[in-house]
Amino acid sequence: MRRHELDTPALILDLDVVEANIAAMAAFFRDRPQKLRPHFKTPKTPEIARRQMEAGAIGITAAKLGEAEVLARAGIGPVLIANQLVGRQKIDRLLALPEHVEIIVAVESLLNVEELEAGAKRTGRRPHVVIEVDTGMHRCGTANPEDTAALAERIAAGPLVYRGIMGYEGHTVLLPDPTDRREKATAALERLSAHVRALRAAGFSPEIVSAGGTGTYDIAGSQPDVTEVQAGSYVFMDGRYRSVRPDLGQPALTLLTTVIARHGDYAVIDAGMKALSNDMGPSAGARLPFTVARLSEEHGTVQTGEADLQPGMKVEVLPSHNDTTINLHSEYYVVRGDEVVDVWPVEGARAYR
Amino acid sequence: MRRHELDTPALILDLDVVEANIAAMAAFFRDRPQKLRPHFKTPKTPEIARRQMEAGAIGITAAKLGEAEVLARAGIGPVLIANQLVGRQKIDRLLALPEHVEIIVAVESLLNVEELEAGAKRTGRRPHVVIEVDTGMHRCGTANPEDTAALAERIAAGPLVYRGIMGYEGHTVLLPDPTDRREKATAALERLSAHVRALRAAGFSPEIVSAGGTGTYDIAGSQPDVTEVQAGSYVFMDGRYRSVRPDLGQPALTLLTTVIARHGDYAVIDAGMKALSNDMGPSAGARLPFTVARLSEEHGTVQTGEADLQPGMKVEVLPSHNDTTINLHSEYYVVRGDEVVDVWPVEGARAYR
């Protein structure tokens, strides 16, 4: 089957571009001390994670337990869960994962440590942890280096295995101006280094120092204290990262849609908010010049611009934000050129907790 | 199991409130010529549609073919697909549905009619159609009453079964001021009536005239030309409709979340854009006074306000927009009071085309 014969809306993944993007990012990390642990929250399919591991990644980063479960069951790891797991049910699920895949989980409070310790006591297993540090995004994480060192000391005194720290400078990865982005990311990474120094001074030198995203992979990937980078979006790219990092890879993912109506200067496609996200602004035509100006639940209203869209045409959209768009779908239609060669499940979207 | 023992994030559906909301809306339509054909795009589960039918609904409205497939396979109908189906694959799927459930589909262009006629020719089945009219939302639909009459004439000359028209005044349903909403909705319904008059004059008096949403159910439901109303959100209500229609039902749906961190005046819950939508603005606490000020993909940053949220607490959020939030989930946890009594699948989200 050819890509334009697919029923719509359908996620189309260009495997040639995916492979080129994986190879290019792997090449950047090949000869440096910093390594790549790509984020699973974008692709949500073991097919991608496996290819990233084969290209030299040291493991995979996950955003939540459900993603780590998918990876562990596929035998892919080590996995860093870059988030806190709170509550007995999640701790029990974590400790029920296959033991042959190493899982490291982020903690940021005494509660996290105590819950994991209680789980260790129940099961005899010793969860590996990194401490999450707030480097300026103001979401989760310890802000004070002394608090980080005190938490490390607390961890090391118990059954948990202390591995290091992580700090994601998410407030800088999408800054459009390269100089501004570099300055603010560097400032965030300097905050991370302050925690590293406090830990070293307290005798808890971190083996893992994880940071960085697709917008800052080269900044974090050149910082001496950083040991690994958790970029994820690079594998497919999307509209927002294309505008922020035009030097990076080509877009590998598009949404195939059908034009269902045309009235004057606008057309309507069969993809609304339930198939295409707009949290990063409007998406655009992937091959034809148009903008998806408005989304209702099942309709996208397209300013046709230079493109003469007519009902019945199938047109591809480059999502402005892949992560939240992929999360709306159940499968990828994988193509080489125009030929559909495979169908891959979007697995993490179902295991959403 | 009790509702607060569920792993998070989890959709919690209060069945007592659902039943009260279904009964209240059914009561409004009981003694009037206009009838209720509730929209499936909100609940996406046959469990709700079946209860609505038992309460007197004349059928169900669907937003896309995948939803109609779920309903038809559950034996629930007649179903009005309030949208165009474009492309051979969708026409073939439509014509492969079980024949004992009546399906009516909206058309708005000659292409729609020709594609359905070709399907009728291939299969010997005669699809039922209504003509979609643009009453001011400027999405799909015929704008000119003469065009509507001409399309009806074209339909009646072929194998399709002409049933009437629909026109959803979606641009008015969420207007906050009741007087403004009534005036603009009435103007839209008057446009719909102009199409009805043109059809009658041409000898194609519509059996079905479908309009209305939860914000305008009583306006559309009192308009003499309207025969049925396609309100959907009323069944659960949500933050936006609570503010627009405080006179309507109570909220039946909440999202149970866990507080995973607390820093100063903000806390973080384990529900971000992949579990909670924000296309209708920020969501709020369902029982405690807080606002979910910012969503990242897997985190919600909560302005704690008067609520002293601490890590480990489970708190319920009233989504600002249920339709797009439900679309992110796989199941409802159904409760009576605090007790979880059932788990219902969100079915339409998988059959998303």
Model pLDDT for residues A173-196, shown as the tens digit of each residue: 999 999 999 999 999 999 999 999
C-beta atoms of B352 and A275 within 8 A:
yes
- Give the residue on B whose Cα is nearest the Cα of A11: B353
Instruction: With cut-offs at 50, 70 and 90, classify the pLDDT of residue A306.
Output: confident
On the 0-12 / 13-18 / 19+ scale of CB atoms within 10 A, A177 is exposed
User: What average pLDDT does this structure show over A39-49?
Assistant: 97
If asked whether residues A87 and A43 sit together in one domain, one would say yes
Which member of A7, A139, A327 has the closest CB to residue B89?
A7
Scored b (16 or more CB within 10 A) or e, B3-32 reads beebbbbbbbbbbebbeebbeebbebbeee
Task: Domain count for chain B, please give it.
Answer: 2
**Segment holding B294, helix H or strand E:** strand B291-295
What CATH number should be reported for the domain holding residue A308?
2.40.37.20
Please check whether residue B351 lies inside any domain of the structure.
no
Instruction: With cut-offs at 50, 70 and 90, classify the pLDDT of residue A23.
Output: very high
Scored b (16 or more CB within 10 A) or e, A250-263 reads ebbbbbbbbbbbbb
User: Would you say B40 and B72 are in contact if contact means Cβ atoms under 8 Å apart?
Assistant: no
Residues in chain B closer than 8 A to A7 (CB atoms)? 87, 89-90, 353
- Give the residue on A whose Cα is nearest the Cα of B300: A139
Q: Measure the CA–CA gap between A301 and A269, rounded to whole angstroms.
A: 7
For residue A299, pLDDT over 90 is answered with yes
pLDDT tens, residue order, chain B (353 aa): 999 999 999 999 999 999 999 999 999 999 999 999 999 999 999 999 999 999 999 999 999 999 999 999 999 999 999 999 999 999 999 999 999 999 999 999 999 999 999 999 999 999 999 999 999 999 999 999 999 999 999 999 999 999 999 999 999 999 999 999 999 999 999 999 999 999 999 999 999 999 999 999 999 999 999 999 999 999 999 999 999 999 998 999 999 999 999 999 999 999 999 999 999 999 999 999 999 999 999 999 999 888 999 999 999 999 999 999 999 999 999 999 999 999 999 986 655 67
What CATH number should be reported for the domain holding residue B111?
3.20.20.10
Residues in chain A closer than 8 A to B89 (CB atoms)? 7
Please check whether residue A26 lies inside any domain of the structure.
no
If asked whether residues B270 and B308 sit together in one domain, one would say yes
Instruction: Of B66, B70, B67, B40, give the one whose Cα is nearest residue B52.
Output: B40
Of B214, B237, B260, the residue that ends a domain is B237
User: What average pLDDT does this structure show over A144-165?
Assistant: 98
For residue A339, pLDDT over 90 is answered with yes
Of B237, B262, B282, the residue that ends a domain is B237
Q: Measure the CA–CA gap between B345 and A331, rounded to whole angstroms.
A: 19
pLDDT score at B348: 65
pLDDT digit string, tens, across residues A237-260: 999 999 999 999 899 999 999 999
C-beta atoms of B138 and A263 within 8 A:
yes
Instruction: With cut-offs at 50, 70 and 90, classify the pLDDT of residue A347.
Output: confident
Q: Measure the CA–CA gap between A5 and A65, rounded to whole angstroms.
A: 36
Q: Measure the CA–CA gap between B202 and A104, rounded to whole angstroms.
A: 72
pLDDT digit string, tens, across residues A262-277: 999 999 999 999 999 9
Please check whether residue B352 lies inside any domain of the structure.
no
Counting other chains too, the contacts that A52-60 makes at CB distance below 8 Å and 24 or more residues apart are A52/A22, A52/A26, A52/A235, A55/A22, A55/A23, A55/A26, A56/A26, A56/A29, A56/A30, A57/A26, A58/A228, A59/A102
Radius of gyration for the alpha carbons in chain B, expressed in angstroms and rounded: 21
Does B39 touch chain A if contact means CB atoms closer than 8 Å?
no
- Give the residue on A whose Cα is nearest the Cα of B303: A139
If asked whether residues A74 and A210 sit together in one domain, one would say yes
pLDDT score at B14: 98
- Give the residue on B whose Cα is nearest the Cα of A346: B350
Establish, for the pair of chains A and B, how many residue pairs have beta carbons separated by less than 8 Å: 143
Please check whether residue A106 lies inside any domain of the structure.
yes
Does A279 touch chain B if contact means CB atoms closer than 8 Å?
yes
User: Would you say A166 and A82 are in contact if contact means Cβ atoms under 8 Å apart?
Assistant: yes
The whole-chain average pLDDT of chain A stands at 96
If asked whether residues A197 and A313 sit together in one domain, one would say no
If asked whether residues A154 and A194 sit together in one domain, one would say yes
pLDDT digit string, tens, across residues A66-99: 999 999 999 999 999 999 999 999 999 999 999 9
Does A260 touch chain B if contact means CB atoms closer than 8 Å?
yes
If asked whether residues A222 and A258 sit together in one domain, one would say no
Instruction: Of A95, A150, A90, give the one whose Cα is nearest residue A128.
Output: A95
For residue A349, pLDDT over 80 is answered with no
Does B238 touch chain A if contact means CB atoms closer than 8 Å?
no
Enter the tokens of residue B320: 């600002």
Residues in chain B closer than 8 A to A281 (CB atoms)? none
Residue B261: give the domain boundaries. Answer: 3-11+247-345
Counting other chains too, the contacts that B333-336 makes at CB distance below 8 Å and 24 or more residues apart are B333/B3, B333/B6, B333/B10, B333/B11, B333/B12, B333/B13, B333/B256, B334/B13, B334/B15, B335/B3, B335/B12, B335/B13, B335/B14, B335/B15, B336/B14, B336/B15, B336/B16
Please check whether residue B299 lies inside any domain of the structure.
yes
If asked whether residues A192 and A278 sit together in one domain, one would say no
pLDDT score at B349: 61
Strand pairing class (B284-285; B161-166): unpaired
User: Would you say A7 and A314 are in contact if contact means Cβ atoms under 8 Å apart?
Assistant: no
Please check whether residue A238 lies inside any domain of the structure.
no
If asked whether residues A98 and A224 sit together in one domain, one would say yes
If asked whether residues B41 and B85 sit together in one domain, one would say yes
- Give the residue on A whose Cα is nearest the Cα of B106: A260
3 state DSSP class of B18? helix
Please check whether residue B242 lies inside any domain of the structure.
no
**Segment holding B284, helix H or strand E:** strand B284-285
pLDDT score at B193: 98
For chain B positions 130-149, those within 8 Å of chain A (CB to CB) are 134, 138-141, 143
User: What average pLDDT does this structure show over A286-292?
Assistant: 95
DSSP B205: -
If asked whether residues B317 and B204 sit together in one domain, one would say no
pLDDT score at A305: 84
C-beta atoms of A87 and B8 within 8 A:
yes
Residues in chain A closer than 8 A to B261 (CB atoms)? 84, 108-109, 139-140
Q: Which residue has the tokens 């993603």?
A: A67
If asked whether residues A173 and A313 sit together in one domain, one would say no
pLDDT score at B350: 56
- Give the residue on B whose Cα is nearest the Cα of A7: B89
If asked whether residues A88 and A117 sit together in one domain, one would say yes
Does A8 touch chain B if contact means CB atoms closer than 8 Å?
yes
Of B179, B214, B237, the residue that ends a domain is B237
**Segment holding A104, helix H or strand E:** strand A103-107
Enter the tokens of residue B109: 């262009």
pLDDT score at B75: 97
pLDDT score at A353: 74
Please check whether residue A242 lies inside any domain of the structure.
no
Scored b (16 or more CB within 10 A) or e, A182-195 reads eebbbebbebbbbb
